[in-house]
Amino acid sequence: MTEQDGVSDGFYGERTLRNPDALIRRAGLRGDPDQDQHFLVDDRVLDRVPTYLPDDVDTSHVLEVGPGTGALTDRLLALADHVTVVERDVRLADFLRREFADDIEAGDLTILEGDALEVDLPDFTACVANLPYGISSEITFRLLPEGKPLVLMFQKEFAERMAAESATDAYGRLSVSAQHYADIEVVEPVPPTAFSPPPAVDSAVVRTTPRDPDYEVDDPEFFLDFVKALFTQRRKTIRNGIRNTTHITGIEHPEKVIEAVEDHDEVLLRKRAGKLAPEQFAELATIAVDVERRESDA
């Protein structure tokens, strides 16, 4: 058994919550910024993070990526029927096995040791995590297609770009791609002082609520590649963006695609990527797919 170094919080029922600083002391490990390790140690933030899950969320199996010394894990165990954590640092994974031995023995906690971008993820019902910032984008776009509620910690700038609306400075490929899968909300800013060691940037908690987009795309993979391509040419018009990015989109007949867009809505070709709403990207991608199929069948 571990020392009882926390207090019980009403939201977390009868569980006595571990003190994050005490966890670090017991682990005998300091966070390593070079390894993207910044442990969340502010009790107030830790207590709030899981509360951002939707009220009706299924907590039968909650996933956490990058648990560190387990302060957030402890709170998730008070809420969920089962928690799976993914930790690539062997030392931290060993500590978690010792610290949470009772939860593991009870069948409430599973520890997956390995890289979250490579391990087979379980069939989780929600994910709550203080992500390693170096893999924020990659892991987010591994999680979003699963269609489950997510509460994730990011660099503040990254979080704001995810949630940005069209025609704003922060709007870009990340905004369109993330909002294709879910409603994105920045729910809380978090200062560097909430972490040990403090990162060099401000952070923010993001909630994603899965939903189907209010537009249709025939080929989701092409749609995301198309968005990526046009934002590499964000200072160019869409007309030139289509012409200049065939190496990304794989479009073999760009001029015919442009002609088809002209027939549909010529104004779109004069716009730039940052001014297009997600549904307009979908319009363009659908036209491009239709033209390419028609030309390949000709």
Other Cβ atoms within 10 Å of 165 Cβ, number: 10
Burial of 254-282, coded b for 16+ CB within 10 Å and e otherwise, reads beebbebbeeeeeebbebbbbebebebbb
Q: How far apart are CA 257 and CA 232, in angstroms?
A: 19
Give the dihedral of Cα atoms 210, 163, 206, 125; nearest 10 deg.
Answer: 10
Contact 189, 259 (CB under 8 A): no
According to DSSP, the β-strands at 109-113 and 83-87 are parallel
- The answer to whether 77 is annotated as binding is no
- The answer to whether 6 is annotated as binding is no
- The answer to whether 240 is annotated as binding is no
Contact 199, 33 (CB under 8 A): yes
Contact 140, 117 (CB under 8 A): no
Name the token pair of 159. Answer: 């979080």
- The answer to whether 214 is annotated as binding is no
- The answer to whether 66 is annotated as binding is yes
Q: How far apart are CA 162 and CA 170, in angstroms?
A: 8
- The answer to whether 38 is annotated as binding is yes
**Which residues contribute to the annotated binding site?**
38, 40, 66, 87, 115, 130
**Which residues contribute to the annotated binding site for S-adenosyl-L-methionine?**
38, 40, 66, 87, 115, 130
